[in-house]
Chain A
């Protein structure tokens, strides 16, 4: 076989043509590659409680927004327990998602987030002002920075068994915490169904106990961010929770995780629980008969006021190391100003922080095809007025976040309720912990 020699000129021609053909050819075969300059927007979301919401967000909203803005939108969904570890890892690596959703205020990440003031201004220009809860959960008055942006929150109403409460003359459920105590005890005695306010190291407990505290005029901090836990009101609240536990509940509230009260309510065990509308929505799917018995009522009045907490606070941050800061901000503006779609897709789980973003909210919740009766969720009509943030009347700052995350108040109430400590000692111990935590974050100039 004769040897074929290739000179340098022929080699360069052949490889050049090959490279050109490979580049162009690939773009002809794979059209997406033709637009090499297309931007990317990476979003991290939690796995939503309502699966249809994720379907809508990932497959419809993200796709349509991407097409409109010449951007490839990539959405990753992770479980709620993985959010903080994931955020810490992204900060450590200085790489990750352009838009990152926390399900609670993330003040300790402030240093790494872009100021969202312009997003607030842009949205405000289009649909007016947000509710106070929104600002209190995403703004640091000390540094004057919006470390996150919140389009929505999940309310934490009272879920009660109408069939049981009707039999003791209260078909519309309790209106005050004192009624929960006295009538709840009566129901427990008569029908064997206890009240279900958690006393465990978990988030539903943390929310419910703060709701009782705020309703009774007890707070971790004042409006200016000064620690105020050690007060007469807190001591009275601890005594109230102790009595509430002894008279209306059972030991199982010490065992709970975040989904236990859902399960207990749907199983028909409890007479009352505080939770998002996840209880009623799950019951509608899994136990429709029981769902007719579970109704909702507004925030209950304590000795000072009627107030409720957010159950989940959707707080988006844009990292300083994000590769598409502008895209992330634009997505947030568009998402928030058109929040009605999200509200419907999430089956009313997420309520708007910007009232005008769902102008017909009253009409929507007054006629829900899945609810029994159809106006079951109408009770949440004024939730934007009575829902508040963790850390009320102050802002959700880094110290409040650590107190929340290390279960300081959960343990305080649980110790007193179980008799492991006197109310005075439980308060003293919790106050000492809060003092140390506040001091630490003040030193870091975050509070």
Chain B
């Protein structure tokens, strides 16, 4: 092959590449697929693969230290479903998830409405609200562990200094069942509030100003405006925020693992922590997987219902 032929081929290759690129850019159906492919691949590898692996493990007798496994059908599910530990964990999971979501949605709505107004230092408030979201979850939880500590609790020190409690009646935040559940919910709310606020803020911003003006002209007061105009309009996006929050709460284990490890006496034990203690610490990977995926059908149903309602109520 002569030198000249190689050069002319190289020249010919460049326009061909450009032509292919132009073909891709001109056809949205192809470009869309190419652009979304990395995200799909990422979800398939990081979420899909572990999920199907967990599903597969839950139907076998695998242990943390074994490579050979036998298919056992639904035996692991049948074994756990009647145990008080599992039932308590299911109950706690719902209390934790629903409790934290109710608080998150109420607070996020208040915050988002406040952040819609113009005031001095708004950027600083926005920054502070976002901070818990950017801080690593484990570090944040350790910080809260100190806040709730039985000896060094800053809350108790402050209350005692203010004369509201005495040294002998310090509340043990992580030692009483109701206080412990309230504590883990508080930390979870602290963590999820920024995301929900930002989502709702985006929803509120997208409402056309004319609608608010029309409501004002019609003489709607604050509450009427809020409940009959603003909230119905942001309902679809609020449902998405709630769904995100619920899925986070149902699957997260860091807050409870760091703060209580399920205590006192399993009153904050949720399915994710129980799955970890059984599967990873206790070595029964199959049963741990069964505990972990046991809520999947219910979560999927909740997701479908939420997304359907969101789509139906979409008015903007």
Please list 8 pairs of residues, one from A and one from B, whose beta carbons are closer than 8 Å in the complex, sorted by A's number: A91-B65, A106-B65, A112-B65, A251-B176, A254-B172, A255-B174, A255-B175, A402-B284
Interface positions, chain B 44-99, Cβ under 8 Å from A, are: 61, 63-68, 79, 83-85
Instruction: Please tell me if the beta carbons of B280 and A84 are within 8 angstroms of each other in the complex.
Output: yes
Query: Main SS of the interface on chain A?
Result: helix
Cβ A251 vs Cβ B67 within 8 A = no
On chain A, the residues within 8 Å of B109 by CB distance are none
Q: Is the CB of A411 within 8 A of B64?
A: no
On chain B, the residues within 8 Å of A264 by CB distance are 150-151
Task: Report, nearest first, the 8 A-B pairs whose CB atoms are least far apart.
Answer: A108-B283, A109-B65, A402-B282, A254-B175, A252-B150, A405-B281, A255-B175, A254-B264
A binding-site residues for B, Cβ under 8 Å: 84-85, 87-88, 91, 94, 106-113, 192, 199-202, 250-257, 260, 263-264, 267, 269, 398, 401-402, 405-407, 410-411, 414-415, 418, 420, 429, 432-433, 436, 440, 444, 446
CA distance A264 to B175 in the complex (A): 15
Chain B interface (Cβ < 8 Å from any Cβ of A): 61, 63-68, 79, 83-85, 145, 148-152, 168, 172-177, 180, 260-266, 269, 274, 277-278, 280-285, 287
Report how far A257 CA is from B85 CA in the complex, Å. Answer: 21
Contacts of B280 in A (CB 8 A): 84-85, 88
Which residues of the other chain, A, contact B150 by a CB distance below 8 angstroms? 252, 255-256, 260, 264
Residues of A within 8 A of B287 (CB): 440
B315 to chain A, nearest CB (A): 47
What's the least CB distance linking A274 to chain B, in Å? 17
> Measured between alpha carbons, how far is A199 from B265 in the docked complex, in Å?
8
A107 to B150, CA, bound (A): 35
Query: A251 CA to B152 CA in the complex, in Å?
Result: 15
* Minimum distance in angstroms from B187 CB to a CB of chain A: 14
Of all chain B residues, which has the CB nearest A109?
A: B65
Given A201-B260, A257-B145: 5 more A-B contacts, CB < 8 Å: A255-B173, A260-B151, A407-B261, A414-B264, A444-B63
Assuming A111-B65, A264-B151, is B265 touching A418 (CB within 8 A)?
yes
Closest to B283 in A: A108
CB within 8 Å for A88 and B64 given contacts A252-B172, A398-B283: yes
In the complex, the answer to whether B63 meets A406 with C-beta atoms within 8 Å is no
Residues of B within 8 A of A414 (CB): 263-265
A401 and B283: CB pair below 8 A?
yes
Interface of B is mostly: loop
B67, B172, B173, B282: the one contacting A111 at CB < 8 Å is B67
User: Within the complex, which residue of A91, A257, A267 is in contact with B261, where a contact is CB–CB below 8 Å?
Assistant: A257
**Contact in complex: B79, A254 (CB < 8 Å):** no
B282–A255 CB distance below 8 A: no
Instruction: Please name all residues of chain B whose beta carbon is closer than 8 Å to the beta carbon of A410 when the two chains form the complex.
Output: 263, 265
A106 to B66, CA, bound (A): 13
Chain B residues with CB under 8 Å of A111's CB are 63, 65-68
Considering the complex, give the chain A residue whose CB is closest to the CB of B170. Answer: A252
Distance between A319 CB and nearest chain B CB, rounded to angstroms: 10
Contact of A201 among B66, B173, B263, B284 (CB under 8 A): B263
Instruction: Give the distance in Å from the alpha carbon of A275 to the alpha carbon of B283 in the complex.
Output: 26
A308 to B175, CA, bound (A): 27
B174 partner residues in chain A, CB cutoff 8 A: 254-255
Chain A residue contacts of B264, Cβ below 8 A: 199-200, 254-255, 414, 418
Q: What is the CA–CA distance of A85 and B279 in the complex, to the nearest angstrom?
A: 10
How many angstroms from the CA of A263 to the CA of B67 in the assembled complex? 42
A434 to chain B, nearest CB (A): 12
Tell me the nearest residue of chain A to B80, going by C-beta: A436
Could you say which residues of chain A place their CB within 8 Å of the CB of B66? 111-112
Q: Given the complex of chains A and B, what is the CA–CA distance between A256 and B175 in angstroms?
A: 8
Instruction: Please measure, in the bound complex, the distance between the C-alpha atom of A436 and the C-alpha atom of B282, giving whole angstroms.
Output: 14
Residues in A with CB closer than 8 Å to B176 are 251, 254
Q: Which of A263, A405, A415, A440 contacts B277 (CB 8 A)?
A: A405
Is B175's CB under 8 angstroms from A252's CB? yes
User: Quick check: A202 and B261 within 8 Å, CB to CB?
Assistant: yes
Residue of B nearest to A258 (CB): B261
Contact (Cβ within 8 A) B278 A402:
yes
Find chain A residues with CB under 8 A from B269 CB: 201
Q: Bound complex: CA of A174 vs CA of B280, how far in Å?
A: 38
Residues of A within 8 A of B266 (CB): 201, 407, 411
**What residues on B are CB-neighbors of A398 within 8 Å?**
63, 283
Contacts of A440 in B (CB 8 A): 79, 284, 287
Q: Closest residue of chain A to B85, judged by CB?
A: A433
Q: How far is the CA of A414 from the CA of B281 in the complex (A)?
A: 21
Q: Which residues of A contact B285 (CB under 8 A)?
A: 88
| CB atoms of A108 and B63 under 8 A apart | yes
Tell me how far the C-beta of B137 lies from the nearest C-beta in chain A, rounded to whole angstroms. Answer: 15
| B7 CB to nearest A CB, Å | 14
Indicate if the CB atoms of B83 and A436 lie closer than 8 Å.
yes
Residues of B within 8 A of A256 (CB): 150
Are A109 and B64 in touch, CB under 8 angstroms?
Answer: yes
Contacts of A402 in B (CB 8 A): 278, 282-284
Contact A444 B61 (CB under 8 A): yes
Q: How far is the CB of B92 from chain A (nearest CB, A)?
A: 13
B-side contacts of A411, CB under 8 Å:
263, 265-266
A444: chain B residues at CB < 8 Å are 61, 63
Tell me, in angstroms, the Cα distance from A91 to B279 when the chains sit together. Answer: 14
Q: Are A108 and B263 in contact (CB under 8 A)?
A: no
Chain B residues whose C-beta falls within 8 Å of the C-beta of A106 in the assembled complex: 65
| Residue of B whose beta carbon sits closest to that of A439 | B79
A332 to B249, CA, bound (A): 45
Contact residues in A for B274 (Cβ distance below 8 Å): 406
Report the bound CA distance from A429 to B287 in whole Å. Answer: 19
Q: Which residues of A contact B64 (CB under 8 A)?
A: 84, 87-88, 91, 108-109
With the chains together, A410 CA to B260 CA distance in Å?
13
B283 touching A433, Cβ below 8 Å:
no
Chain B residues in 8 Å Cβ range of A407:
261-263, 266, 277
Cα distance A406–B262 in the bound complex, in angstroms: 10
List chain A residues, Cβ under 8 A from B284.
108, 402, 440
Residue with the highest number of chain A CB atoms closer than 10 Å, among B79, B149, B176 = B149
A410, B68: Cα distance in complex, Å:
32
Residue among A85, A108, A250, A253 with most chain B CB within 10 A: A108
B152 to chain A, nearest CB (A): 8
Cβ 8 A contact of B265, one of A110, A112, A420: A420
Contact, CB under 8 Å: A406 / B278: yes
